Amino acid sequence: MEFNILFWLMTKHIIADYYMQYPWMFKHKGTYGHLGGVAHSVWHGILTNIVLLYFTDPITAAMLGTLDALIHYHIDYTKSKAWLKYQVTPSDQKYWIIHGTDQLAHGMTYFLIVHLLAHGHV
């Protein structure tokens, strides 16, 4: 079961983070509380909730979707602040190091969610 959850969370991630993230969502992620970054993270939480509804009860799915949204927001905010601090662009190696670390952190969030479900912590 855990592999299936991870598979669907990672699939959800590419949809929400790449296919359905629009300029109005990512332009101001370095501004804490800006609607774009909040909307992007809430979208992640909604999709996580939908995925988890196939594996757990609605309350647990909603709680973990909310957890994902909160963690996702802060990971993205931190990434954006780092990009601004170092004034990097996609042509800089440090940009990709920051971006890759951001993606790893999102993946680790999904491992946390699976761990919480697998060990009955929610």
Whole-angstrom distance, CA of residue 7 vs CA of residue 119: 18
**What does the pLDDT look like over 59-77, one tens digit per residue?**
999 999 999 999 999 999 9
**What does the pLDDT look like over 91-122, one tens digit per residue?**
999 999 999 999 999 999 999 999 999 998 88
Number of domains in the chain: 1
Expressed as residue numbers, the domain containing 114 is: 2-118
Mean pLDDT of 24-38: 94
How far from the centroid of its chain's Cα atoms is residue 13's Cα?
A: 7
Query: For residue 2, what pLDDT band results from cuts at 50, 70 and 90?
Result: very high
Write down the pTM of the prediction.
Answer: 0.95
